[in-house]
Structure 1
Amino acid sequence: MKISEVETFIVGNPWKNWLFVKLHTTEGVYGIGEGTLNGFAKTVEAAIHELKHLFIGSSVFDVEALSLKMTRDVFSDGGQIQGSALAAVETACWDIIGKVTNQPLYKLLGGSCHEKLRCYANGWYTGPRTPEFFYERAREVVSKGYTALKFDPFGSAWRTVDRDDFALALDIIGAVRDAVGPDVDILIEGHNRFSAHTALQFADAMKVYQPTWFEAPVPAQNIAAMVEVAKRSPVPVACGEDYYSREQFAELLKHDAVHIIQLEPQFLGISASKQICGMVNAHHGVIAPHSAQGPICSVVCAHLNMATPNFYLHEIFDDFNEPWEEKLLDHPLKVENGYLRPSERPGLGVDLDLEELSKHPYHPGNWLPLYKDGWEKREGNK
């Protein structure tokens, strides 16, 4: 069964344009995938079509060879753009393989390692950056059954902060802890914001609120800085969503400093993601994949997590996106009392509603400006 054509679709979600693909085969079976990348939807779309001469005519079963063609053979480091293009196509191949074999994706990746997946909520704090607002919204989140939630309390901070902003961030963390009580995991998102010394100042100050992790406290490209912070921080550090190759994870893991790894299947493809999960396991670490793109990305992560022994937490944005998001897929994921299971349907277990997709056109302002005041409202940058 060979790949015959690829279609691409961009959906204008206000805070991040979502890019989806539909991969066709010579025998009429098709698969779907996602290539969303903040601020680069059109660019990744162009990359998919520019590279399609490398995968049209290939067997959908040869996913490793396809990956080499789209990365090694190009002999250029296209970073997250190239990785997103690869992941979109490779995911669609796995979807087709599942349909042909009549198996859900997670069974092709090793089978069920868990009865269900514990989820953490993200994207729930769309509003003013005040302790009062975060307190009320956090209470609403736990009332839905979530036992873990993540948030960025740092506003538009970059590298350093003044004393008032430092105090406000801590007040927000404290307000969330007060709202959810001592038994709920709170996860602090750093978004690569800080220098090492600022990150460590925050880590020391937030320790009293017992965060489960401090995520991406410094830029991920500087692995030495990430390792320094992880070794000195009293709060566990989590990171990995920025990396797009096995080699980057190998460099991070050899230091045995970060043990919560947030790989991004959207930049790696499913095959490499599964291999990296094994690398993390060998270093006695756990995975909590980044699942903050579109709804297909969340489905992929659910299947990967179900088949991974060292899975820790599953990220959920879907409960806090635009209400029309659930109409994009025919069988969207459903979180029940803070947990979910991937579908038992073949492949990914979902399909795109092309009519609904067409109602939400691309807009260049649909991206998340993380260093602009008010980005938390997720209104884009129009």
Structure 2
Amino acid sequence: MITDEKKCVVHMIPYGRQEITQADIDAVVAVLKSDLITQGPVVSRFEKALSNYCEAEYAVAVNSATSALHLACRALDLKSGDYLWTSPITFVASANCGLYCGAAVDFVDIDPSTYNLSVTALEKKLKQANKEGCLPKVLVTVHFGGQPCEMEKIHVLSQQYGVCIIEDASHAIGGKYQGEHIGNCRYSDITVFSFHPVKIITTAEGGMAVTNHQSLAAKMDLLRSHGITRAPSLMSHVSDGPWYYQQVDLGFNYRMTELQAALGISQLSRLDQYVERRHQLAERYDQLLSELPVTVPWQHPDSYSGMHLYVVRLELNEISKTHRQVFEQLRGQGIGVNLHYIPVHTQPYYQRMGFRVGDFPEAERYYAEAISLPLFPLLTEKQQDRVVETLRGALLP
């Protein structure tokens, strides 16, 4: 919170936050009183509930969406000598998951309307990569802000060029594409969700990978727990006794706990309600901001966004302040705006790989103008009015 000149306390309105109900607390307490608090039946129930919701065959719960992305890449056998492509407007995990596997990473510039990976840019880049013999093995499509990418068109290209697809739906649970829930994997190999506290539902930290391929699910299941198995079919020789297990691959400790899963099941029961409320608030923002020098988010007619983010772009040629000045004025007056995201290719780590400012101009234009306004189910209309009036004061003389 901040204090103004009159010493009145002004509470910061965050850009996002979780809702924890008594039902959530009761669900977690019930697990704390049970015999198992990690890797028990509740994790399996959460996996089943989510796969049913998405209408996917299999689900693998893990401790973060980053872990899910890594496991997805490993399950698709991404390795040194391969390429992974993704959007530059995303959190760094969407690209880092390729580096974890020893692969090279590259980016596809964004669509100026949706801020998702541009299908036109993708097609052009695939044609060139095919000529040069450096096609990607994996494409990570990021459903930015909750709006799905144009997956049918991307899937056609993936079939033409032999590319595996991971949907990074960290922002998009509860959304739909062509009338079907995101996560059904109709146009992808694996879809990944995030349950971080600022996301649409939360398990405190946590993630999930869903797929329709039993072999991919089995591989991710194995790798999330050190590559260790007790399944006789996976062991190299007969068990020495009831205590016996074997490490058959180099895996990780990416397991989700029973506590997280219990919270997830409880939150999942309110998912549609949360997404509906986010849409109501977004539509109200659209109306309240209609006369201000900002561009409000555009929604593709094929999509129903999970509406994780509400990002406006400042029309800087119509205002007298810089992007930074507007951002800092909002923060200084208790509006917890954020910026999603700094283009990944401009990060120092990626610059050392040879990427340069100017490589993906549409992403960079977006970054120079974007501000994420507060959006979460508990946001009140009074708070939303305060956000808009503070933005109005920052933009207009």
Flag whether TM exceeds 0.5 (same fold).
no
TM-score by length of 1: 0.35
| TM superposition score normalised by structure 2 | 0.34
Find the structure with the greater CA-based Rg: 2
